[in-house]
Amino acid sequence: MLIGTPKELFVGERRVALTPDSARALAKLGHDAMVESGAGAEAGFSDAAYADAGVTVVNSAAELWAKADVVTKVRPPEPAEVAQMRDGQTLISFFNPAGNAELLEQARDTGASVIAMEMVPRISRAQKMDALSSMANIAGYRAVIEAGSNFGRFFTGQVTAAGKVPPAKVLVIGAGVAGLAAIGTATSLGAITLAFDVRPEVAEQIESMGAEFVYLEFEESSQNSAATGGYAAPSSPEFREKQLEKFRELAPEIDIVICTALIPNREAPELWTPDMVAAMKPGSVIIDLAAEKGGNCKLTVMDEKIVTDNGVTIVGYTDFPSRMASQASTLYSTNIRHMLTDLTPAKDGVLVHNMEDDVIRGATVTHKGEITWPPPPPKVAAIAAAPKKEKPKELTAVEKRAKEVAAFNQQTRNQVTLLAVGAVLLLGVGLVAPASFMQHFIVFVLAVFVGFQVIWGVAHSLHTPLMAVTNAISSIIILGALIQIGSGSMIVIVLAAFSVFMAGINIFGGFLVTRRMLAMFQKS
């Protein structure tokens, strides 16, 4: 198959859907590649780089659409581009089928198959094709970098000869892919990072990244679940009021706010109100990743940067991935390559559009003259959540004391039982064994008891507990062996000497190992 990638028509779009490295990987699947001249220039990929990768460079987009069996794009196609599609051709691109009904019908009428990259199901097997997550990851990272370029101070705190610099305080609203990327970037730059999400189950993930989760004093069962596709479910009015109340409390101390709360094809919820902006310190920054759908802050102006009367900078750019075009193109083209790998199971350059495959079926929005969107639910069954364990009842002081007394009494009973059983066994042995045996046996039992008490009483200090115990046992062995060396039997003398030698190796070896372990923690 011939894979074609035209130049993006959307104004300001710098990404490209095919990189030279991806083209080399596609060649191993049996595919040939073609790009329109200049398609990757703004992402840092020259025509010469494509040519070196074995890609055919053509000067005309019309020629590319006419020849390519599969066309890969970043932005949804323009109507003029869809008009050039033909029966049997495949388009792989972002498409937004929920918001492009007319374009969807136009694509259906061409007979071409359209795979919308934002419709890839969010299941484990499809993560390598999840272009939405790839782009959201870049947007979250870039949002922090953009905030830093508009913030007048360091992110990290510093103590310098010129004075002390406090660390910046960053609040990330929404802990999806973009939010987590922003949290990771902000914490790595040394900022004090706080994060909020309506799903309390992500708190542990946020805290594991070094950020502090902002809890609300509110209980609502619906907040423990997510809407379809992994997005947060809409909140109740009561929860929203508690949320805004908490944000108003935080606003005066926050330096940077990064808003990421957005569900596709829905108006962005207002989470950072004008009065919160007014309460922020001059020089503070708001990065609104939901600007395309009205913004989480209603003062946000789409695709612009504004400064409010009290000196707060609000950034409403919608092209954060495109601002890192090289990285974004690399990740996106890799997502498409993985999609083409699934579409080419035999690696023979022949596309197999298997509509029984959950991933391919879920992402396909038109096929063989039919609109196949929305897709049926994936056949993969969801894993049921583990039932919550009941919190143990907290005991009163009287109940704790009664429990301790009961445990002590049980331990005493066990010890008395063991002594009684031991006495009975000893008596039974004494009835049948000769007197000389009993003398030695009683000495043996007492030695075991005394040895046990001595060994477990050894303080391990610089040793590990295990090494301390083995050294104590070895010491007892040496003492016993030294006493036996004076025996008149040569066999006993040889065995005793061998015991001293082996136990000595164990003791001195233990000290050498301890010395090496301690040396690992010493500064050179």
- Token pair belonging to 259: 């808003």
The DSSP result for 54-95, as a single string, is: TPEEES-HHHHHHH-SEEE-SSPPPHHHHTT--TT-EEEE--
* Local confidence pLDDT in tens for the 524 residues of the chain: 999 999 999 999 999 999 999 999 999 999 999 999 999 999 999 999 999 999 999 999 999 999 999 999 999 999 999 999 999 999 999 999 999 999 999 999 999 999 999 999 989 899 999 999 999 999 999 999 999 999 999 999 988 888 899 999 999 999 999 999 999 999 999 999 999 999 888 999 999 999 999 998 776 544 444 554 556 666 788 888 999 999 999 999 999 999 999 888 889 999 999 999 999 999 999 999 999 999 999 999 999 999 999 999 999 999 999 999 999 999 999 999 999 999 999 999 999 999 999 999 999 999 999 999 999 987 754 444 455 555 566 667 777 778 888 888 888 888 889 888 878 887 887 788 787 777 777 777 777 777 666 666 666 554 556 666 677 777 778 877 888 777 778 888 888 888 888 888 887 877 777 777 667 666 54
What whole-number distance in Å separates Cα of residue 246 and Cα of residue 33?
A: 53
CA distances from 280 to 39, 141, 173, 249, 388 (A): 43, 23, 16, 11, 40
User: How high is the pLDDT of residue 502?
Assistant: 86
The identity of residue 151, as a single letter, is F
In sign, the C-alpha dihedral spanning 243, 137, 114, 76 is positive
User: How high is the pLDDT of residue 297?
Assistant: 96
The DSSP result for 224-243, as a single string, is: GSB-TTSPBPPPPHHHHHHH
User: How high is the pLDDT of residue 384?
Assistant: 47
User: How high is the pLDDT of residue 522?
Assistant: 60
The phi and psi torsions of 121 (rounded to 5 degrees) equal -60, 145
In sign, the C-alpha dihedral spanning 444, 450, 452, 454 is negative
Report which secondary-structure segment, H or E, holds 259. Answer: strand 256-259
Dump pLDDT digits (tens) for 128-155. Answer: 999 999 999 999 999 999 999 999 999 9
Task: Please tell me the number of Cα atoms within 13 Å of 146 on its side-chain side.
Answer: 27
Bond into 374 cis (ω within 30)? yes
User: How high is the pLDDT of residue 233?
Assistant: 64
What whole-number distance in Å separates Cα of residue 160 and Cα of residue 404?
A: 55
Residues with active-site annotation: 122, 127, 130, 133, 231
The phi and psi torsions of 270 (rounded to 5 degrees) equal -80, 115
User: How high is the pLDDT of residue 170?
Assistant: 98
End-to-end CA distance of the chain: 61
Q: Kindly report the length of the chain.
A: 524
What whole-number distance in Å separates Cα of residue 5 and Cα of residue 73?
A: 6
DSSP 129: G
The phi and psi torsions of 326 (rounded to 5 degrees) equal -65, -50
Instruction: Write down the residue that tokens 């038109």 correspond to.
Output: 366
What whole-number distance in Å separates Cα of residue 377 and Cα of residue 358?
A: 9
Q: Is the pTM value of this prediction over 0.85?
A: no
- Token pair belonging to 480: 């016993």
